[in-house]
Amino acid sequence: MGRILAIDYGQKRVGLAVTDPLQIIANALDTVHVKDIWDYLAAYLAKENVEKIIVGYPMQMNNQPSQAVLFINPFVKKLEKTYSNIRIELVDERFTSKMAHQTMIDAGLKKKDRQNKELVDRISATIILQSYLQRKK
């Protein structure tokens, strides 16, 4: 069984999370600048067995895709073409940024630490992955 990699793709940064090889636990992995994501993925996927990639897909309250899909769709198309041997799934990422901020508050992080956008992106990717794992059970 391979890992599941979660991607929270933004216009500036990409939050990444990954499961353990048994696909039980979601762990924050990294935050990468959007211009570096393809090199990062190539290096990571060369050394780790990843059987599935899930990509956070922003939806509105009326279940329609948000404006952010204009930059996410081209990324997903390239991802599917580049890694055609890995299953790619889109997962609703509604409210993950708010949940990430609440997680940081609940963890007792100071306001300055909660303003770290890279940390928010990593936590968002982890929330996307953890909710995916829970739905899969």
Domain ranges in the chain are 3-136
Fold of 3-136: Nucleotidyltransferase; domain 5 (3.30.420)
CA dist 15 and 8 (Å) reads 5
pLDDT of residue 134: 86
DSSP label of 75: H
Helix, strand, coil percentages (3-state) for the chain, rounded to 5, are 45, 30, 25
* Cβ within 8 Å of residue 11, ≥6 positions away: 34, 68, 71
Q: Across the chain, which distance is largest between two alpha carbons, in Å?
A: 42
Q: What is the pTM of this model?
A: 0.85
pLDDT at 115: 65
pLDDT tens digit sequence for 8-56: 998 999 999 999 999 999 999 999 999 999 999 999 999 999 999 999 9
Q: Where do we find the tokens 């309250």?
A: 61
Is 12 in contact with 34 (CB distance < 8 Å)? Answer: yes
Give 5-64 as a DSSP string: EEEEE-SSEEEEEEE-TTS--EEEEEEEEGGGHHHHHHHHHHHS-EEEEEEEE-B-TTS-
